[in-house]
Amino acid sequence: MAQDRIQASNVTPGNVSTQRVKLSSGYEIPQVALGVYKAPNDGTTEQAVKWAFDCGYRHIDSAARYRNEEAVGRALKEWTAANNVPREEIFITTKLWDDDHKNAQEAIEESLRKLQLSYIDLHLIHSPEPGEQSFIDAWKQMEAAVDAGKIRSIGVSNFDVDHLDALLKVARIKPVVNQIESHPFFAHEKLREETLKRGIHIEAYSPMAQGAALDREEIKAIATKHGKTPAQVLLRWGIQVGNIVLPKSLTKHRIEANAQLFDFELDSNDMDVLNNIDEGMKMGKLGPPGTSAPASPGATRPGSRRTSGSSGLAGNQLQMSSS
């Protein structure tokens, strides 16, 4: 049986509108966000963001690299005006791309302009590339933007433990999150543990393994038991281990379904099953390779990192799509 995973603390129960996690900056972040990776910079994304707001989402996760900040900004401006919702009730995340580390201040101003905002709720370094001095220089500029009131919280994405420790040695403002790939088939558990031990929350992208494992019999059995979908089961796992989850969809019924995570709870048997199906199924190219060993063709699944006793660069042994 897998040991219990380390969970984030300071989670306030609620629904998709109110379920929030307290960050070290003092601000609270909604635990479920609509991710807009690969979403076009047009009305399609604007409509998806508005649907998300309609069904209760209060957190949108974008990035300069996604090239859709304008669409997110238009949707936010139009929806809040039409529904008389204060901007302060919405949490907007965007990210600094690798090429902009030297010019982070200018990149932040550009994101603010595209999003039509006076401040960004959470700004992340998208990845530690091209290296330590580069992301440290960027971090100092992001800290200055916090001082200037242009950003409320700052964090990182795709950072490994060594990257985190290098940053923590010099950071005046501590990163509030590390956004990494995490789902039951690639929990990234060692990195999760080490990140949480440093007082930094986990944001999980690809929380449904990009749909690659929704037909697994063990997932379908848990879904049937609770009258839920396999996708909702995987997202609920993320909620219960304390991740901030970032499901992505441009389809109305899926956006709505991905918000319906707070009217059921996975029991200890469900969690034991889900905690023992980690097979190193890393979907994304970005980020540390992880410590979970994938199953060999025809072999039984090794279970969780802790019970298998295995380690290695699982992600490098699997076919990966972009992330």
253 assigned ligand-binding residue: no
DSSP reduced 3-state for 43:
helix
Length of the chain: 323
The stretch 57-86 carries a mean pLDDT of 98
Architecture field, domain 17-276: Alpha-Beta Barrel (3.20)
Is residue 296 pLDDT above 90, yes or no?
no
> Residue 148 contacts by C-beta under 8 Å, 6 or more apart in sequence?
none
66 is catalytic: yes
pLDDT at position 315, please?
A: 27
Alpha-carbon span 298 to 21, nearest angstrom? 41
This prediction has a pTM of 0.87
The stretch 309-323 carries a mean pLDDT of 25
Find the catalytic residue in 27, 37, 57, 66.
Answer: 66
The stretch 220-247 carries a mean pLDDT of 97
The stretch 256-268 carries a mean pLDDT of 97
CB distance 108 to 14 below 8 Å: no
The stretch 4-22 carries a mean pLDDT of 74
Say what angle helices 104-115 and 69-83 make with each other, to 10 degrees: 40
CB distance 323 to 303 below 8 Å: no
Q: To the nearest whole number, what is the mean pLDDT of the chain?
A: 88
The sign of the dihedral angle between the CA atoms of 113, 246, 28, 229 is positive
Domain boundaries, the chain: 17-276
CB distance 280 to 191 below 8 Å: no
Residue 286's pLDDT band, with cuts at 50, 70 and 90, is confident
Is residue 269 pLDDT above 70, yes or no?
yes
| Burial zone of 74 (CB within 10 Å; 0-12 exposed, 13-18 middle, 19+ buried) | buried
Q: Tell how strand 151-157 and strand 177-181 pair up.
A: parallel
Query: pLDDT, tens digit, for every residue of 216-231?
Result: 999 999 999 999 999 9
Give the tokens for residue 186.
């690639």
pLDDT at position 94, please?
A: 98
